[in-house]
Structure 1
Amino acid sequence: MKVFIIEDDEWSKLILDKLITSYFPDLEVIGTASTISDAITLINDCEPDFILADIKLGNEDIFELINHFGEAWKYNYILTTSHENYALEAISSEVLDYIIKPITVEKLITAINKVKIRIKASLESKEENGNRNHQLIGISSVDKIEVIKIDSIVYIKANGRYSDFYLMDGSRKTASRNLGEYEKLLPNENFVRTHQSYLVNMNYVEHISKSDGYVVKLINNDKLIPISKRKQDVIAKFLKLKI
């Protein structure tokens, strides 16, 4: 697994590096940063499996970076701090774990095991859907699990911790899992995250409008799906063009 470390205290950074080198031979430190701006630039390039970060970085805090990227589940944040009063904000930001300093190998093992469990579960989910030839997916709600054809999904919209599926027949179904989880499960050769709140089946895209900001126009549908500025490159890469 690949880890990115964000820490502005050199001594703390040295301790983390020493613990990881000594006790976690399967981990690779692929980058470090001491500021939010440096971290954003480097993380975009190196795609870590998880991020190990101090909460306070001088006058900044890690929640600025979490809000910048969104999709906290995707980055598997493990936060460290000397202050217990950040616990509530960490939980509400959906970080994977929260370590009170001093950092010990026992605390680190517990946190990293959570990363391994999440990554394993994600891979197993992908494999399970792959075994179905990507034809069907289960949508779990409070009282039932509905099985639908993947190619009937036009787009999915985030609804807090839930996801709203909009289907080809015009119906809507609400699932009790967040949008990020479905982004992992659905085939990326068809589904693209155009915005923090939208996952679109590109087979139903009629065109992309540039007139009022970038938006996706769907086939036989008046709905316009926004394309966030930081997702424009993703769309361009998917379509093999410059937009």
Structure 2
Amino acid sequence: MFKKRIAVKVKRQHRYLEINDIMYVESDKHVLNIHLKDSRVIQTTEKLSELEKTINSKRFIRCYQSYLVSMDYIKDAKTDFILSNDIRIPIRVRGRKEIIERYHKYYSAERMNDHL
């Protein structure tokens, strides 16, 4: 896994986060909650679309208007993504099949890379 950091604005200061540590991002009104693998939640007022561009990684998937999820932490996908910490993230109805297919393709590629 590569190490890449991003800067997010938190109360007029920049906070640097490892992309590998981000499980998912949830947009709630005008606040983004960045959920990290160590259970911390970082809040910022950046827009989800801007953060998605900043992250710029194929491992993240926009499965709903308010969610950006790291596929590295998904353990199951049906009508929701179930993450490794058992959090359920909704998958939008329109495009669900394509979203789940994209996850399965990513998961298969990652497993192939693990065996090389």
Shorter-chain TM band: 0.7 to 0.9
Which residue is equivalent to 1:178? 47
Shift of 1:161: 2.4
Is structure 2 residue 69 aligned with structure 1 residue 224? no
RMSD value, Cα: 1.9
Q: Which runs of 5+ in 1 are unaligned?
A: 1-132
Deviation of 1:238 (Å): 4.3
Aligned residues: 104
Amino acid in the other structure paired with 1:224: R
- Report the TM-score when normalising by structure 1: 0.40
Please say which structure displays the higher CA radius of gyration.
1
TM-score (normalizing by structure 2) = 0.80
Which runs of 4 or more aligned residues in structure 1 lie more than 4 Å from their structure 2 counterparts after TM superposition?
A: none
- Counterpart of 2:28 in structure 1 is 159
Instruction: State yes or no: 1:236 paired with 2:101.
Output: yes
Query: 1:189 is matched with which residue?
Result: 58
Q: Name the aligned partner's letter for residue 89 of structure 2.
A: I
More strand by share: 2
Cα distance, 1:139 vs structure 2: 1.3
Structure 1 or 2: larger helix share? 1
Q: Matched residues in 2 for 1:229 and 1:178: separation?
A: 23
CA, structure 1 residues 139+238, in 2 after alignment: closer, same or farther (shift >3 Å)? same
CA–CA distance in structure 2, aligned partners of residues 200 and 156 of structure 1: 6
The residue that corresponds to 1:41 in the other structure is none
SS at match of 1:229: coil
Select the structure with the greater relative contact order (CA < 8 A; seq sep ≥ 6).
2
| Structure 2 unmatched runs, 5+ | 107-116
